[in-house]
Structure 1
Amino acid sequence: MDKVKLLQQCSEYFKSNHGFHRVLVKIKDRYKALGKIGGTIKLNNLTLEEKEALTGFLKKNYYKDSVSIKVDKFQEALKDTPFEKLDLIEVLEEYFGENIVTKKAEIEKYERDKEKFFSEILDELRGTKAYEWLEFVLNGKENAYRIIAQRYNQDRVSLKADLIITSKGLNSLPFFYNKSERLALFASHISKNPHIFDDNSECGKLLLNGIVYLLDEKYPQNAEEKAELLYRVGLIKDEISNFTICSGLLAYKDGRIHGGWEGFYNTYEPLQVSLWNLSKVQRIVSPKKKVFVFENPAVFSEILHKTSREKPALVCTYGQVKLASLVLLDKLVKDGVYIYYSGDFDPEGLAIADKLKSRYDQSLILWRYNKGDYYKALSKKRIDDKRMKKLKGLKNKSLISIGKALEETGCAGYQEMIIDELIDDIKTI
């Protein structure tokens, strides 16, 4: 009898007795794990059919609830049957109707396929910034590696398409050409889909990781940091809703004073400036080389009203500092302007001041930030423990000192209480 028929008969023999099925499944799994016939398998809660099949085949008493069987003993038992010329692996493959591959072989094939997959993509990108990024990710297993690895295992076809689109975006970032562009419009040019690089989209996450690599920055932790990172490469997001308020400042476009800014400067009226407006001017200046920045809009409005004769440069950030405020201040500092920053004496206000001081260093003066000012501004509004914990993140020594005073009193202090002192400073600094 030829081998093919013998294998078929052997397979039918085992299939005809369901008592062998669990044993053969265990032997197959053991072989895949070890890469060879060997080891021991364990069976619990044996059925009567399994007990009879094993006892008869292995010629040993297996009328027990749980048993351990050495795989090579099963192979030896096969030699005492009409199927003695058959290899156990061949029998298993015939029985299960599949080519049984060891775990080691599966891993090796997986790695070969993976290397080929990414090599083909890299070949398409060779000589580009996207090539440098993807090579860095794959070699260092950093940046977007986890995202890419997970998606490779889930759907490598869509992953390849997204990597190509993202790479096209990285290689076409507006800042390479000293330009700026709305994110949605940029996305349309790259993929004909204005939402392809939206927050939390697959391509959006990949693009952001690519930008992080190009700028050698840390991955952004919030929406404002994301917007700033995009702005730095010439991509403008939320260009109208992201704004700041200022007065007493002049802007230059193409070497000339911007007419709109000049009009508000001459009338000393507050100007609402969007991120888009800021992207259209090259310079922003304060004629007196200083700017007074306020967190509180009510304080800003009052000081604007009471300093109309002096016409100082003022900015209002409206609490948490939006990207538009940062871009405005960046441009001012670049022009040699000193920032005088004043905010509320609460955990959130001190955290904002701390971040700004860290960003602008010697170009920013913490204005009216001493214990005396805090006690003058002190209110009866209590600060809960959850908010107090935010003080632990402060880095500036002066702000840490105020933070300790805050913990001692348990109450916040507000700018409105020291508004006269702020006005006097503006008139004399």
Structure 2
Amino acid sequence: MTATGPEMTARTRAWLDQPDLARLWDRLHDRLERNGLRVHGRLRLDGVTPAEREALALLTGRPYTGDTMSLALADLDAQLRTGAAERGLVEVVTELRGPLTDRPAARDARRAAAEAIRSAADDALRSYGLADSAWSRPWLEEVRRAGTLARLAPDDAKRLIVQAVDVMAGLTGPASPDPAGRPGRGELAERVTGTAHGLDDGTLLSRIVLRALARSLEVPPPQDARSRRELWEAAGVAVDRVSTTVLTLGLAPLGDEPAVRLLRDRTRAGFETHLTLRDLTRMTWRLPPDTEVLVCENPRVVEAAADRGCTRPLVCVSGNPTTTALTLLDALYAAGARLAYRGDFDWPGIAIANRMIGRYTARPWRMRATDYEQHVATARDRGTPLPPLAGAPVDALWDPELTPAMTVLGVAVQEESALELLLADLLAP
């Protein structure tokens, strides 16, 4: 705040800024900020030293006794205006202790800005029919608690949250069965922000969207570059078309396209194959009649199946399915394949299985309550330790008895623990 009176003399300033008045000005600075810069109320000082008492008496023109004193801010303001300072309390405190912040006004402004951001987000969510989605409310609350948007200019914050909703609206609807129709991250960013770099790692928009994606997919927020890439891929966004692959074994599509012939040759040789998204866009999928494709979560299953000479079609999604994995499975499903899915018996594994089984009407592959109980009993007979279940339970939509059984036994069973049973299925004619 700029002083309104004559310039304070160096001598007056030095006297006011003496150490024996330092505590007074510090306390007044805090009090005026809490008062909204209004000069009212009283200030109490405890443990006043003799030197402080003498300086306060000279400042206010009244004697004090004891080690506690109380003074009215309005009286001190009047005293300063008629004394050597020739300016009011707010101006003197600003001169001695620096600028004052109107805390109530700042608090009201933050609340108004937060409400404007929430209102803009609500309007955007409603416009896309996403206001009642399970992820939207917790996501907005998480963004609010983080406080990042509150530090932006209000218009910038509103624009950013609406852009985040625009991105989510394009990712939470039905996925395109055409691999070429899946957006790349740069394409999606340009569509929403006007620049291909709008969703690059490190941008605030990218961080906010990834938190929403983690909520919508019921997975932890990403903590590093790899997990960020995997989350984009799981949401159907290709970060690029060559670096992420899907692991396969035994796929033998029909046709004479070069990519199809290469895959068929590797299958005949008993080799596993990593397919990129770029590979998949080069293939037109035609399959032998009544093809069933078994889908697993852990690459160890594919490795063991290849070692044993398994020939049944097998696809590994390597955890939460990436865009590349989903593109392949979508194409196989569209070509008439029946899918069977097997994953981990833990809560993230059940959430993934819900999505996979629901998306493809897949057959649960040794994923029922009886299978879980058998795996646990076998592990305990062998003395194999099983990790405890962590996180909130997830209902297994394909088997109402599975989640209660897992809750009772309280342990997780990873897919590779049932490797011999899975291999037996893969080796069956």
User: Shorter-chain-normalised TM-score: which range?
Assistant: 0.5 to 0.7
Aligned 8 A contact 1:297 1:318 in 2 = no
Amino acid at match of 1:365: P
Amino acid at match of 1:367: R
1:227 maps to which of 213, 222, 230: 230
- The CA deviation at 1:358 is 0.9
Measured in 1, the distance between the counterparts of 2:35 and 2:227 equals 52
Aligned 8 A contact 2:302 2:314 in 1 = no
SS in 2 for 1:291: strand
Aligned 8 A contact 1:32 1:103 in 2 = yes
Aligned 8 A contact 1:299 1:416 in 2 = no
1:67 is aligned to 2:72: no
1:300 is aligned to 2:305: yes
1:243 is aligned to 2:229: no
Aligned 8 A contact 2:46 2:69 in 1 = yes
Aligned 8 A contact 2:395 2:403 in 1 = yes
1:16 is aligned to 2:15: yes
What corresponds to 1:125 in structure 2? none
Measured in 1, the distance between the counterparts of 2:94 and 2:421 equals 87
Task: Mark the structure with the bigger radius of gyration.
Answer: 1
| Residues 141 and 71 of structure 1: CA distance in aligned 2, closer, same or farther (over 3 Å) | farther
What corresponds to 2:32 in structure 1? 31
Which structure's residues are more often strand, by fraction? 1
Alignment of 1:283-362 (within 5 A): 285=287, 287-294=289-296, 295=298, 296-301=301-306, 305=309, 307=311, 312=312, 314-317=313-316, 320=319, 322-323=321-322, 324-342=324-342, 348=344, 354-359=350-355, 360-361=357-358, 362=361
| Residues 279 and 376 of structure 1: CA distance in aligned 2, closer, same or farther (over 3 Å) | farther
| Residues 15 and 147 of structure 1: CA distance in aligned 2, closer, same or farther (over 3 Å) | same
| Residues 140 and 340 of structure 1: CA distance in aligned 2, closer, same or farther (over 3 Å) | closer
SS in 2 for 1:288: coil
- The CA deviation at 1:230 is 4.8
Aligned 8 A contact 1:40 1:71 in 2 = yes
| Residues 330 and 393 of structure 1: CA distance in aligned 2, closer, same or farther (over 3 Å) | farther
How does the TM-score come out when normalised to structure 1? 0.63
SS in 1 for 2:389: helix
Aligned 8 A contact 2:4 2:87 in 1 = no
- The CA deviation at 1:337 is 3.2
What corresponds to 1:142 in structure 2? 140
Alignment of 1:19-418 (within 5 A): 19-35=20-36, 36-56=38-58, 57-64=60-67, 66-75=68-77, 78=79, 83=83, 88-89=88-89, 92=92, 95-96=95-96, 102-107=102-107, 142=140, 145-146=143-144, 149-150=147-148, 153=151, 163=160, 179-180=181-182, 183=185, 197-208=199-210, 221-222=221-222, 227=230, 229-230=232-233, 232=235, 234-237=237-240, 239-250=242-253, 258-265=257-264, 268-269=267-268, 270-281=272-283, 285=287, 287-294=289-296, 295=298, 296-301=301-306, 305=309, 307=311, 312=312, 314-317=313-316, 320=319, 322-323=321-322, 324-342=324-342, 348=344, 354-359=350-355, 360-361=357-358, 362-367=361-366, 370-371=370-371, 374=375, 381-384=382-385, 387-390=387-390, 393=393, 395-396=395-396, 397-398=401-402, 401=405, 413-416=417-420
Measured in 1, the distance between the counterparts of 2:403 and 2:246 equals 27
Report the aligned-residue RMSD.
Answer: 5.8
- The CA deviation at 1:62 is 3.6
- The CA deviation at 1:41 is 1.6
Amino acid at match of 1:247: G
Quick one: higher RCO (CA 8 Å, sep 6+), 1 or 2? Answer: 2
| Residues 404 and 12 of structure 1: CA distance in aligned 2, closer, same or farther (over 3 Å) | same
Amino acid at match of 1:357: A
Identity, % of aligned pairs?
A: 10
Measured in 1, the distance between the counterparts of 2:99 and 2:405 equals 71
Report Cα offsets for 1:10-68 as digits up to 9, x if no partner.
Answer: 9954642524443244334323322432222233443443211223434232452x433
Aligned 8 A contact 2:346 2:412 in 1 = no
Gaps of 5+ in 1: 123-128
Amino acid at match of 2:338: Y
- The CA deviation at 1:402 is 7.4
Measured in 1, the distance between the counterparts of 2:405 and 2:239 equals 38
SS in 2 for 1:38: coil
What corresponds to 2:134 in structure 1? none
| Residues 200 and 87 of structure 1: CA distance in aligned 2, closer, same or farther (over 3 Å) | closer
Measured in 2, the distance between the counterparts of 1:182 and 1:67 equals 69
Report Cα offsets for 1:115-134 as digits up to 9, x if no partner.
Answer: 9x99xxx9xxxxxx89x79x
Measured in 2, the distance between the counterparts of 1:405 and 1:85 equals 77
| Residues 188 and 395 of structure 1: CA distance in aligned 2, closer, same or farther (over 3 Å) | closer
| Residues 263 and 37 of structure 1: CA distance in aligned 2, closer, same or farther (over 3 Å) | closer
